[in-house]
Chains A and B, each alone.
Chain A
Amino acid sequence: MMVIALTGFLLVQVNPPELELESGESQRVEITAATIMGRIEGFELSARVIPEERGYFADGRFVAGEPGPGLIIFEVRYKDQVGLKAVPVRVFSSQEGFSPKEAVLAVGDTLIFSVKYGTPEVWRVMPPWLGTIENGVFVAENPGRGVITLKTDKGFHKAKIVVEGQESEPADLQPAEAVLFPGEEITFSVPSSGVLSVDPPDLGRVKGGKFIADRPGNGLVWASWDESGARKTAKAFVRVLPAVFLKPGGSMEIPLPGKARMASVEVSGKGLSAEISSGKLALTATGLGHGAITIQRGKGRNKRIVPYIVGERLISLGPKEISLSPGEEFRPQALTSSKDKAPSLSFVVVPPEAGWMEGGVFKAGDWRGDAWLIGVAPESEGGSGGFVHLIIAPK
């Protein structure tokens, strides 16, 4: 598709309108210009690349530099007129030694991917329903388009794949995004024939049109169904917030990313014990209580705070998540059905520097980052409670 930019009285056309290259590759770029009277020749052309490390433009070609997003700004001058066109550029790391780089296959076909340099560590199929891959052997399961990625100890490789067949049509899933706490569930609007799946699979369970969150983390809930003879596929983004609710005696395991596996863990508050083992944060509820779990690697940086409640019942607070600027305030409220008696909650701010509660209203302090409000009922009433995720940033 050609993109035309009207700048003053000069029309500037750039072909291709977007560039995707590997580091070190080059691509010819055609620039044409026209006034309202027609195409012009002999114009002055200058090009600049932003940021500079993304590459350079010379002799009609863009030469890719360091990986990342960038722009080429083409400036065309003709007599006293000026035209400007910005072209998006994405530079990827070199894929040398990885093959095949592109493949077209049918459902049921098998394809072997190989890498010349480095030891393969993680193979991935995206979207995951396209097929499976193990030790570089890809088996196509459903028609569609996607990528195979491989992370080795020396680099990161990608290949485009197309699985031929009657491709499913993209559809909408409602809600398109959901924010939950572990233990909460959400119902998606899918036809009765619809099938849900979740990636990563240990993020939660699916049951009919419902997703039940098991552990903190982000993921995609995929839905597919048949409609008027066509296959439909839709997805929703789910965020299971890193807050832990357990009943007394309950336990939970949260997989940790590589960096955090070497971290130390500390619990401030009562009713919970925590340890890191086998790359997982293992939590055990020993009695009623609430507080914060601090996971820290080294000093200062990479510090994560996870609030927790050990109680009889997780109470939904509204809003679940709120963005505030320092000095702004809001009133957290327990979301209970009309027949339930509203619990009397006391609130704790984690970390305390993030703000304070006054008369049932939270006021954000001079703080930047994410923080938590923990609302808990008295232990004599079962210690039930809920969380609000606070995102505090100057506007």
Chain B
Amino acid sequence: MSPNIDDERIEEILRGLPRIQPPPGLKRAIYAGAKSASSRKKWFWATLPIPAAALAGVLVAVLLNTWHKRPSPAPLPHEPLVVAPSDGEVLLPDEVEFMTYGGEGRVEVDGIPVAAKQQKEPGAFIYIPQDLEPGYHKVVIEIDGKKVEASFYVEETE
């Protein structure tokens, strides 16, 4: 049976039936429902690239991470090292500098912490105390369980 023959048959049956109006609001409800289904379908297709891109990003990240974790030379171990004035040394104010290698140490001059300046070389730090007055000072440097203490004398420059 072709679609046209079906349509004609349907029209013939309907002609024999009394015409009844649908309940108020039904047409609008059917339209709204149909529109909603259509828009959901569009949203799904429109947003599909987002999870796809995210998935691709995750895959790239995993690949990069794996690449970075390729077997590489192990970090070179070294003993903690302190370069500081020897005990009893006499220095000019601008000669007072300390250095640690093997990590950032804790440096205190007369009980006051001194901030570290990281060097280009990994694990190397330089510490320069500010505004040291002439006279005796004591430095305590601790790094990875190693402790170095020295008292030194800062000569007056003016």
Give Cα distance in the complex from A24 to B112, angstroms: 34
Assess the A7–B76 pair: CB atoms within 8 A.
Answer: yes
B112: A residues at CB distance < 8 A: 370, 391, 393
Q: Which residue from B74, B126, B136 sits with its C-beta under 8 Å from A51?
A: B126
| B133 touches A (CB below 8 Å) | yes
A385 at the binding interface (Cβ < 8 Å): no
Interface size on B, residues (CB 8 A): 42
In the bound complex, how far is the Cα of B151 from the Cα of A235, in angstroms?
Answer: 10
Indicate if the CB atoms of A71 and B155 lie closer than 8 Å.
Answer: no
Q: Is B89 an interface residue (CB 8 A)?
A: yes
Nearest CB of B to A305, in Å? 13
The complex places the Cα of A86 from the Cα of B78 at a distance, in Å, of 8
Is A355 at the interface (CB under 8 A from chain B)? no
Binds A, one of B14-22, B27-35, B40-48, B93-101: B93-101
Asked if residues B95 and A257 are in contact (CB atoms below 8 Å), the reply is no
* Closest A residue by C-beta to B120: A50
Q: Are B135 and A50 interface neighbours, CB within 8 A?
A: no
Instruction: Compute how far the CA of A237 lies from the CA of B81 in the bound complex, rounded to whole angstroms.
Output: 24
Q: Quick check: A69 and B121 within 8 Å, CB to CB?
A: no
B85 to chain A: closest CB distance in Å?
8
Majority secondary structure of chain A interface residues (helix, strand, loop or mixed): strand
**A contact residues around B83 at 8 Å (CB):** 69-71, 88-90
Decide: B151 and A237 in contact? CB cutoff 8 A. Answer: yes
B136 to chain A, nearest CB (A): 4
As a 0/1 sequence over residues 83 to 99 of chain A, the CB contacts with chain B under 8 angstroms (1 = contact) are 11110111001000000
Q: Which residue of B lies closest to A321 (CB)?
A: B111
Shortest beta-carbon distance from A348 to chain B in Å: 22
Q: Nearest chain A CB to B69's CB is how many angstroms away?
A: 19
Q: B114 to chain A: closest CB distance in Å?
A: 10
Which of the residues A5, A82, A235, A321 comes within 8 Å of B73, measured between beta carbons? A82
Contact yes or no, A84 B153, CB < 8 A? no
Q: Contact partner of A323 among B88, B111, B136, CB < 8 A? A: B111
Docked pose: A71 CA to B110 CA in angstroms: 25
Q: Give the shortest distance, in Å, between B103 (CB) and chain A (any CB).
A: 12
Stretch of A28-36, A108-116, A145-153, A336-344 on the interface side:
A145-153
Q: Which residue of chain A has the shortest Cβ distance to B73 in the bound complex?
A: A82
**Are A82's CB and B111's CB within 8 A?**
no
Return 17 A-B CB contacts under 8 Å, by A number: A7-B76, A48-B121, A50-B119, A51-B126, A68-B95, A69-B126, A71-B121, A86-B81, A127-B88, A149-B90, A151-B155, A177-B138, A199-B136, A218-B137, A237-B136, A321-B111, A393-B113
Chain B residues packing against A (C-beta within 8 Å):
73-74, 76-79, 81-84, 88-90, 92, 95, 97-99, 101-102, 110-113, 119-121, 124, 126, 131, 133-138, 151, 153, 155-158
